[in-house]
């Protein structure tokens, strides 16, 4: 079984400061990893994904994430946040074997960027 833990439910940060949103997962099989962003009253939008290869993944809007297999983590980072980054961020995993197309989501982290 797979599960995703996002330890921080809310993260306030000042504009232009760096931010890290944490994600840990538990899985008995190898997984693909994803970060999604959800702006108010909108659906989820893919930020970035790790499938294989380099453990440092770069996504849209200046975000990046690093896959750490030994720590089963996939933390999201941005060196300098903007007001427009205020949103809900979800980490998700999907089994990499073709056992089904099911995704498992964390409970989300609400990022608030303070002017």
Partner 1 sequence: EAGVVQSPRYKIIEKKQPVAFWCNPISGHNTLYWYLQNLGQGPELLIRYENEEAVDDSQLPKDRFSAERLKGVDSTLKIQPAELGDSAVYLCASSSGTSLETQYFGPGTRLLVL
Q: Which of 86, 79, 95, 93 is nearest to 113 (CA)?
A: 86
- Residues lying near partner 1 in the complex (CB under 8 A) are found at 4, 9, 32, 34, 36, 41-46, 49, 51, 90, 92, 94, 96-98, 100-103, 105-108, 110
Task: Considering only CA atoms, give the Rg of the chain.
Answer: 14
SS3 69: coil
Provide the CA 42 distance to its chain's centre, in angstroms.
Answer: 17
100 versus 115: smaller Cβ distance to partner 1: 100
For the bound state, the minimum distance from the C-beta of residue 110 to partner 1, rounded and expressed in Å, comes to: 8
Write down the least CB distance from residue 108 to partner 1, Å: 5
């Amino acid at each position: 079984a797979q599960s995703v833990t996002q330890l921080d439910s809310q993260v306030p940060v000042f504009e232009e400061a760096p931010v890290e949103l944490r994600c840990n997962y538990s899985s008995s099989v190898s997984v693909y990893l994803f970060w999604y962003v959800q702006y108010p009253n909108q659906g989820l939008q893919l930020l970035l994904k790790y499938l294989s290869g380099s453990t440092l993944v770069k996504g849209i809007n200046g975000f990046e994430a690093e896959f750490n297999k030994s720590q089963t983590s996939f933390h999201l980072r941005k060196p300098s946040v903007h007001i427009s980054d205020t949103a809900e961020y979800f980490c998700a995993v999907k089994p990499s074997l073709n056992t089904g197309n099911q995704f498992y989501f964390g409970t989300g982290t609400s990022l608030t960027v303070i002017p």
